[in-house]
Structure 1
Amino acid sequence: MKNKPDDRRDNVDKIEYNIGKTIQNIELAEDVIEVTDDYKTKETLKAKNSRRKEALNGMREEIRDEAIDKRNGYK
């Protein structure tokens, strides 16, 4: 069984898509936080948004890494 070759040509596009969706989820959660009176829901969404923001930092770092790899000749 052969491994698939590492095809990273569309990695940046995939990461950018995930960044957009993550930002969208953060905004939707913030809208719910504003209108709900349920303390547990607010705290859960705040915790999720905190993790999402950490994930955004990681995804942005991945894009920088991809740019460096591309500059160094990795296809």
Structure 2
Amino acid sequence: MAKPDNRADNEVHLQQHIDHTFENLREAEDYLDEHADEISSDEKQSIEEKNDRRKESIKSFIAEKRDESQQ
């Protein structure tokens, strides 16, 4: 038997994802600020690319949360 689709707490879960992703983004930026002169350009580029993906994820989570709140 399939589990019923319970979306009651989707907004809460999405907000948790937003908060967690934003925290990771901030930590990576802080790391770059503190260690930019100590890390390789490849590592710096990798972190910056990952942060770009995090920013896109945050935008998507916010859009999805907005959609959930209108249902």
TM, length-normalised to structure 1: 0.85
Partner of 1:13: 12
Look up the SS of the partner of 1:6 in the other structure: coil
Structure 2 gaps of 5+ residues are: none
Q: Alignment length, in residue pairs? A: 68
| CA–CA distance in structure 2, aligned partners of residues 65 and 5 of structure 1 | 20
| CA–CA distance in structure 1, aligned partners of residues 43 and 26 of structure 2 | 15
Look up the SS of the partner of 1:7 in the other structure: coil
Q: Deviations over 1:26-71 (max 9, x none)?
A: 00000111122212221111000000000001000111110111xx
Superposed, 1:32-71 pairs within 5 Å as 32-36=31-35, 37-38=38-39, 39-69=41-71
Identity of aligned residues (%): 34
Q: Quote the RMSD (CA, aligned, Å).
A: 0.9
Look up the SS of the partner of 2:13 in the other structure: helix
Is it true that 1:28 corresponds to 2:27 in the alignment? yes
Structure 1 gaps of 5+ residues are: 70-75
TM, length-normalised to structure 2: 0.89
Runs of 4+ in 1 over 4 A off after TM superposition: none
